[in-house]
Chains A and B, each alone.
Chain A
Amino acid sequence: MRESIGPRISVLVACALAVAACDGGTKKSEDASAVGGSIVIAAQNEPRTLLPPLITQIDEKIIADQIFEPLAWLGDEGHLDRGYRPGLADSWSWEHDSTAVVFRLNPKARWQDGRPVRASDVRFTFGLYADSVVGFKDRSSLARIDSVTARDSVTAVFWFKNRYAEQFYDAATRLLIVPEHLLAREPRATMLTSAFGRAPVGSGRFRLGKWTPNASIELVADTGNYHGRPNLDRVVFAVTTDANALSTRLTTGEIDLVEVSTPAMFRTLKDQPDLRARMNPAYDYSFLLFNARQPKQRQRPNALFADIRLRRAISMGLDRGKLVRSQFDSLAVVSTGPMTRAQPLADSTIATIAYDSAGAARLLDSLGWTLPAGKTVRERRGQPLKFSVLVPTVSANRMALIVVIQESLRKLGVEVVVDAVDGNTFVGRLGARDFDVVFHGMHVEPSVSGLRANWTVASAQDANGLNFGNYENPRFDAHLDSALAARDLASARPHAKQAFETIVADAPAVWIYETRTATLMHKRIRPVHIVSTAWWAGIADWSIPPGERLPRDRVGLRVAAR
């Protein structure tokens, strides 16, 4: 039976966690033999900044989560409403009207420069994340937090505008707390290139040791950390952009761990004798997004895709199951909507548009898109049924799939022109809504609150909104609002289901696939706290048994801790 995060339960959870915090929740390394070892993790992009509010890439997030801490960590099961682990806060409680959460910081908490962590740092951090000038990408997710106050030096209070199911998640996990004394004077508009982003100081159990640009980032154990030192001496992130070099480095043992999302690499590496594969739940989905408006002319409906029947016909014409199986094998499943199955509010029982090529052809015929004798492309009043699909060349999966999609639609009499552009151009054209159809991908969090930014009427009508396809249906908005305003997940679920059913029936996109990633790691590593949303959350508690250590595990801290 699922619990809801109400005041009473919260107090119990807080007490339980406080007890856990005393007997091991804070993970002091009691077993000396567990201490030691170095692991090398592949970073597939050079991080730009490690300043938490400005993190956009997964590699940046993985590193920042070692250096900084949230108030609480999502539990191993990834439930939004229970099971949180203490982070900077060692306990928390709800105010009586449930519109405020009080976090009590661990009084021993220190920044890596020795200064104590204070509630004013939490207040400052919220201000930074919420400041539109700074550029936190999920800023809209904080919209329902009214303010943060410091009741005393170790008590921070989050005040909410209203009560809703994901209050605690928003307050406890979205913000990685940063030091006010080091950032207060930084100009906020240019924080992207602030020196702090390259020399971060957090309260986490690892601190930055050495950053060699375009090569590696070395984190070393913070031996004086108030939670106790991590088991590992160091974690090195090796920037390796070339796929061949990445496979080779992993196979030869230069790298211990990589997160793989391309099937070819997974097939090559999964049977390596030294490696252990672990499948992660999918939090990424990709889809062919139709632009309901003319490219760059939002006031005019799109000549093709304003018509829901044409969108549905194209959806019906694609055998998504076959597409996904042929491309991904076990690394992806067919997407069912703007969600992934791992999200607590997702509902995989929702009826989707099934593959029916004959039905698709009939629907196109009924719309006047008929196949003239001797031609291969359907026409209506002399105009061919032809459109381009914007695809980023940096996505190997999407580049491979679009060719198969192109061929599938060709059989239906639809001509697809692949408009492949580099990542930078892709993002620019996406933001300008300069496309007919785009092969887009999104990363989601366990919460579904991000749907508001991407699919609602308000974000479609906002020239700077992230609803790139201009999808508008007030019915969807109403159901989503009800789901997000529900007091607990159980009462949110029916509203979420209706919202999903509405958007899936409207076919603003062809939902293609949810990618799972696989974490391949060296067998000598003993991981713990593999959270469903973040395999890296417990790295500080990972260990390497002394008998299985490699020479690099025996280097110790002496050299790195400079």
Chain B
Amino acid sequence: MRRFLARRLAHGAAVIFIAASLSFLLVHLAPGDPFSTTLDSASINPSVKVAWRAAYGLDRPLLEQYLRFLGQLARGNLGPSLMRPGPASAVLADAVPNTLVLMGTALVLSFVIGIGVGSWQAERAGSRGDRVAGNTSLVVASLPEFWLAAVLLLVFAYRFRVFPAAGVVDLVMHDSLSPAGRVLDRLRHLALPALTLALLSSASIARYQRAALLDVLPQDFIRTARAKGVTDRLVLWRHALRNALVPTIVLLGLSLPTLLGGAVFVEQVFTWPGLGRIAAAAFHARDYQVVIGATIMGAVLVVAGGILADLLHAAVDPRVRTQ
């Protein structure tokens, strides 16, 4: 297991290095520069922009910039942000907690909803309810994140005014609320973005869960349980579900990169100041170091997700552990 882990970590490090290098290359080759972030910057004299490029070291040959970047990266330093004073890592550090909260909540919600719906469908496989739920989850899984986000925004924030439209907390009231009020305020702001991400992921999870249960239900141990007089419901939830969770749990690790990809759009719609929003803003602003940093974080998440999936698989399936 240790050797397996070491090998996966080495692979992961290679993936992260390649992602960082590709990201460096592509973002520097993209047209535009960090000093043309808005249309208004057209009125800044180009000679000033040339001077700025020199001052920030962007006039150096690309190879020299790349080597300097690698040197900084080896010391755990991404380099300075061009959008804000200070290092790019500080820009990312501001955003990461918000994204983790959003993704964590969405992950939990998506598994609760997905497993629940998938099991409910498996229990009545072939019925009209199963078909309706199956088609619905197929439609939801096919929806683009930004569209679903906009629809939820219009329905729950604009029409019914149940949840706030944007942000992490109430901009004025939050600091004056009681501790419980602050928690509630955060939850209310979290609801729509987390629900958007969760609905999209849960649709796929439900389909996986239903298929896994339908594989398990015809097996001998289920027949034995039924023969012993265990009720159908208990058979499903206690015996079958446990065994059918293996492929779904593996999905947990693999969902992380998907959720992060979705967060880029969802954070934009709900003005959620997380990693996705920062990455999009940094790309528009050609804030090279922040873009590369966000890419590295995405790569880390993909690698970590893969390793987590393997570990979870080993944890729930003793046959894997012994291999």
Contact = CB atoms under 8 A, between A and B. Distances in A.
Given A139-B45, A213-B273, A215-B271, A425 B166 contact: no
B154 A248 contact: yes
Given A249-B166, A424-B284, A190 B33 contact: no
Given A193-B85, A555-B172, A424 B154 contact: no
Contacts of A395: 39
A425 B31 contact: yes
Given A138-B43, A424-B32, A195 B271 contact: no
Interface stretch (A13-21, A231-239, A473-481, A485-493): A231-239
A215 B167 contact: yes
Nearest to B173: A552
A192 B52 contact: yes
Interface of B: 31-33, 35-52, 54-56, 80-86, 91, 94-95, 150, 153-154, 157-158, 161, 164-168, 170-173, 175-176, 268-271, 273, 277-278, 281, 284-286
Contact of A251 (B39, B158, B284): B158
Interface stretch (A129-137, A221-229, A363-371): A129-137
A373 interface: no
Contact of B40 (A46, A57, A212): A57
A84 to B, nearest CB: 25
Find the residue from A40, A213, A252, A464 having the highest chain B CB count within 10 A. Answer: A213
Given A187-B55, A215-B271, 5 more contacts: A56-B44, A133-B51, A193-B80, A248-B154, A466-B42
A-B CB proximity, top 8 nearest: A424-B32, A427-B36, A189-B55, A248-B165, A214-B273, A464-B47, A135-B48, A552-B172
Given A137-B43, A215-B167, A252 B157 contact: yes
Interface string A425-466: 111111100000000111100000000010000000001111
A135 B31 CA distance: 22
Contacts of A453: 43
B173 A551 contact: yes
| Chain A: interface size category | 35 or more
Find the residue from A133, A194, A195, A215 having the highest chain B CB count within 10 A. Answer: A215
A449 B225 CA distance: 89
Interface string A33-49: 00000101000011010
Could you tell me the dominant secondary structure of chain A's interface residues? Answer: mixed
A133 to B, nearest CB: 6
B148 to A, nearest CB: 12
A212 B271 CA distance: 12
Contacts of A558: 176
Nearest to B55: A189
A505 to B, nearest CB: 26
Find the residue from B39, B86, B170 having the highest chain A CB count within 10 A. Answer: B39
A197 B85 contact: yes
Given A57-B40, A190-B56, A245 B171 contact: no
A241 interface: yes
